[in-house]
Amino acid sequence: MAKSKSSHRWLREHFNDPYVKQSQKDGYRSRASYKLLELHAKDPLFKPGMTVVDLGAAPGGWSQVAAALVGEKGRVLASDILPMDALAGVEFVQGDFTEPAVLERLLSLMEGGRADLVISDMAPNLSGVADIDQPKSMYLVELALDLARQVLKSDGKWVAKVFQGEGFDALFRDLRGSFTRVVTRKPGASRPRSREVYVVASGFRG
């Protein structure tokens, strides 16, 4: 089957992308690692010893960053429907965290404790049709927020990828009811033509 013009463009962009090349040099599993590093530089997210939950973690780019920044005394609990190769300092649960059995496994790893930070780089498989993609992406954001409300410590933080469009303003209003500070960031590692931004919410009211 012949590749479409758009897939050719994506491949050309991907292999010419300086962040892709840098990730290969630095040993990161994806260019997304740099997005999280930029977010952390702008709004300090991590401290040694923290417990972090990483949703939609595969292939592990964000978990790698999180594990390095929380250190040996910290914990990173990662989950994804897709499999993920083992990472030092990361405990991984494969499955859909909205299913009770998978959620129970994730919660049992926390051993009754609470998370300092929940991060989500989840995105649906995009069709290119905004009316289809936007509701799907907002649904994933809402799922990540629902889990965060279950597991976060008081004053905890939440970071998630969000696509600008319908539902974005309502999400912001919802977040302001649960967090003391909510900001939007567009890291340099995020492709300019992408509608994706990252919402950073801190000061969870628990």
Q: Please tell me whether 116 is known to bind a ligand.
A: no
* Residue corresponding to tokens 């309502």: 170
CA–CA separation, 26 and 35 (whole Å): 14
Q: Please tell me whether 121 is known to bind a ligand.
A: yes
Partners of residue 118 on adjacent β-strands:
53, 158
Instruction: Establish whether 186 is a catalytic residue.
Output: no
- Of 3, 35, 157, 161, the catalytic one is 161
DSSP H helical segments within the chain, as ranges? 5-16, 18-26, 32-42, 61-70, 100-109, 130-151, 168-178
Q: Please tell me whether 96 is known to bind a ligand.
A: yes
Q: Please tell me whether 80 is known to bind a ligand.
A: yes
| Burial (Cβ within 10 Å: 0-12, 13-18, ≥19) of residue 92 | buried
User: Annotated binding site for S-adenosyl-L-methionine, which residues?
Assistant: 60, 62, 80, 96, 121
Active site residues: 161
User: Annotated binding site, which residues?
Assistant: 60, 62, 80, 96, 121
